[in-house]
Amino acid sequence: MDQTRIEEIINFDNEEELNELIKNKSIKFPKDSYLINQAIQKDKPKCFHSLLEVAEIELNFIDQKTNLSPLSLSIITKKQSFFQDLLTKGADPNFPNEKGRTPLMFACLIGAKSFVEALLRNKINLSLKDRHGFTNVHMAVLASSGTTNSLDMLYSKNASLNEKDNQNRTPLHLAAYLGKFRANGFQVNLEETI
């Protein structure tokens, strides 16, 4: 069976047909099947669950089309139920894409409070950096909304505010550069000290 037919089955969220193909071994899924990302992107929960439960697809891989792991894609597309199922099935919350960005970095970048909270309840490495040297805190500063919540949550888990990126900037330097002091919850004290 060709990939086009499988993609059609997923597009129509035809769980029964997909399960039948899987059970009859009519489909040989690669362990890093992009089809699970397709089910997430197109919001096809039945086929997503079939792929997750029956096909035993590897969850920690980077889809070449999107440069995202299934967990990161579920965050970016704000698909909370897919996200929870992936975490429950063992998706690694620290698994980076080719640019070094982790699911938590994406959640901080888009200001997705519920995803940040859920990830922080897992074994998460707060000191990981992407290829630009950005940490989760840098990503929270870069975000356009919801950053105060993300910063507060990261800080409560002892995320370092002093880590420097590849241009030697801390999150505070980045906030100053972007003019986001108050938007990110940083207090500005302009009073003269004696």
What is the structure's pLDDT at 139? 94
Look at residue 108 and tell me if it is in a domain.
yes
d(CA 126, CA 124): 6
Kindly state the average pLDDT of the residues 40-60: 86
Distance CA 61, CA 58 (A): 7
Considering 15-24, 37-46, 144-153, the range whose residues carry the highest mean pLDDT is 37-46
pLDDT reported for residue 185 = 56
- Give domain status of residue 174, yes or no: yes
Return the sign of the alpha-carbon dihedral for residues 19, 23, 29, 33: positive
Expressed as residue numbers, the domain containing 173 is: 93-185
The answer to whether residue 126 is domain-embedded is: yes
Q: Residue 21 domain-assigned?
A: no
Q: What pLDDT was estimated at residue 106?
A: 97
Q: Domain for residue 86, yes or no?
A: no
Query: Is 161 inside any structural domain?
Result: yes
Task: Give the DSSP letter string of the chain.
Answer: --HHHHHHHHHTT-HHHHHHHHHTT-----TT-THHHHHHHTT-HHHHHHHHHTS---SS--BTTTTB-HHHHHHHTT-HHHHHHHHHTT--TT---TTS--HHHHHHHTT-HHHHHHHHTS---TT---TT---HHHHHHH-SSSHHHHHHHHHHTT--S----TTS--HHHHHHHHT-TGGGT-----PPP-
pTM value is 0.84
Neighbouring C-beta atoms of residue 157, cutoff 10 Å: 13
Name the more confident of 5 and 119. 119
Report the CATH number at residue 164: 1.25.40.20
Q: Could you report the per-residue pLDDT of 62-118, keeping only the tens digit for each?
A: 998 899 999 999 999 999 999 999 999 999 999 999 999 999 999 999 989 999 999
What's the confidence (pLDDT) of residue 50? Answer: 86
Q: What is the pLDDT of residue 190?
A: 43
Predicted confidence at residue 145, as pLDDT, reads 59
| pLDDT of 148 over the 80 cut | no
For residues 186 and 21, the model is more confident at: 21
Q: What is the mean pLDDT of the chain?
A: 85
> Does 15 map to a domain?
no
Q: How many domains are contained in the chain?
A: 1
In a domain, 59, yes or no: no
